[in-house]
Structure 1
Amino acid sequence: MRLRNATAAASAIGACLLVAGCATDSDTETPITKDTTAASGTTAECDPSADHSAAVDEAFAALPSGYTWYRHDLTLTDPCAELSAQTARIDKPIVSSPEPVMFFSRGEFVGLATVCPMKLADQVRIDGTSATVTYSFPRPGETTGAGWSGREAVTYSVDPNTKAITNSGYSDEFRRSNPSCDPATGQPPTQTSAAPANCATDLALRLDVPTDAYSNGTETEGALDFTLTITNNGQSPCRVATNDIVLNVSGPTSNTCTPEVQAPDIAPGESIDIASKSGTWGTCVSDGLKSSGEYTLQAAVLVDGEKAAESDTGSFTAARS
């Protein structure tokens, strides 16, 4: 569907992979990059006509790995403001794609709001040296970015002299909503008894892959139509993040990919079905097919890079035109 402490460690480079994404109320996203720069606040130390591309390059270098970020001709429209912000987006965004917030002060990059890839719910609001960022996050049972009902408004403050970033704090609900990255620490969140760290070992995966040949193209033009069923055989709810699920394609060409759709909480004894038409699941597989022939597909859930559960394999035939 598989960022960085917003406090003093906000400028350290790190990466947490999960799918949260663009702030939109429909399943069809219009790729846009929000310009949330602040009002003018020039100082003698900053030349607004100078080339600030190095600061933009530094900001993009700090973005989470595992994504292809759309590196357009982004410029600081008010480079000498005490605080301004820009948002980044991935190259081919979907409804749940993250939009990291990059902070600048007097033409310099000062850090990311959080190193965790989060979805925005609204424009970033600048007030002097503070910025309010409103995030959208999933509550239990919510699967698609368009249907996420959780909202979290966090105020970040930047010291123009030290460039230190502080924040107003994060609610426990918001911190737990991202199973792979706690926005307060930039690390996986502390597990609770309701979601044990080893819950992935309680999952059973079943893959339903049609055996008919298909012309592998885009997701809506002949991509493989398959379904992954995940069942929780444990005693506690379990959530599997996007970056914990991998799809392995083997055949004339091989590929391992991570779809960009987040799974919901799965209650004990319950199952969820994830179809290839959800987000990038279909194209995740199709992109690995470079020639015609017989292929096999297998899904797996990873914990710390190791397989905790895996599905059976499904076979299919790809026919390239």
Structure 2
Amino acid sequence: MQTVMLTGSQLDQAADFIKQGQLVAFPTETVYGLGADATNEAAVKKVYQAKGRPSDNPLIVTVASVLMVEKYVQSFSDDAKKLIKKFWPGSLTMIFKLKPNALSKTVTGGLDTAAFRFPNNQLTLNLITKAGVPLVGPSANTSGKPSPTTAQHVYHDLNGKIAAIVDDGPTTVGVESTVLDMSTEMPAILRPGAVTKEDIEAVIHRTVMDERHHVGLNQTPKAPGMKYKHYAPDAQVYIVDPDDDWQAVADWIKAYSKPVGVMAFDRVIQSVNWPENTDVISLGNDAQSAAHDLFAELRDFDNHKQYQVIFAQGLKPVGLAEAYMNRLNKSAGQMHFKQL
């Protein structure tokens, strides 16, 4: 299969691929998604094949309107209606209980719930409207690897495995959407993102759980990223915690002698005497730039196979930094500089 790169003026072609049961990668404000007709079970199965994704990892359903969601879910609570009004379109995915047999078990992982996302990207909203169906929309990458924030990242992972990629340039947020479970009595964040716990509580005026329990081998996760290793480059990532001494990191690198990657804030980079075998990449100066750049920089190091070790800036998990640290911890497999 030849994967074609499409622009915003070629959405009719992209929609035709979707109608034919093919896979099309699409842009969102967070990361690029891998789209297939969510009502076509054969097409959805191709998503798992292309990504190498475990079949019990449910897929987010991407929509272009609230009406599209209402077709499949039992009802919206008053809290859900408030959140929809405030954050859709946007970087909030919500899990709802489904009507009986509303979606295939291939989409839901066999659960009676599904996660719905209304992205803030006009090209993708137009694509869904033209296709006339919701799209499953996991990240458009090889399963377990850093998520794609450019069309070129998608092409690197999935060239020859999907029909097309709609290129809308780099994404603006850089980490996946917040996933909020609205199918339980108390709302629970299953994956942090740009929409924070505080943002949600300010709208619904009630406590939101921050659920981080481990999903067992025989359990089906309600949301992506809860069970399997994610976002990992080939090199081992180590987190440098906020109270760690970066000069000690530099000393370790010097003794190691092999090439080592470093991802850190500008002020850290400028304050340390780095040995010659260090390749330093800036994460900017705050959580917003760090979250935006994380996956792209991990991929950049991944493209240079001589790296076996990467040190990455750790942050206190507050606000958007919580989403950044969630992804970084998964990339590192919870490994920290202190453990070396």
TM-score range, shorter chain: under 0.3
Pick the structure with more strand per residue.
1
Larger radius of gyration: 1
Provide TM-score, normalisation by structure 1. 0.28
Query: TM-score, length-normalised on structure 2?
Result: 0.27
Choose between structure 1 and 2: higher helix proportion.
2
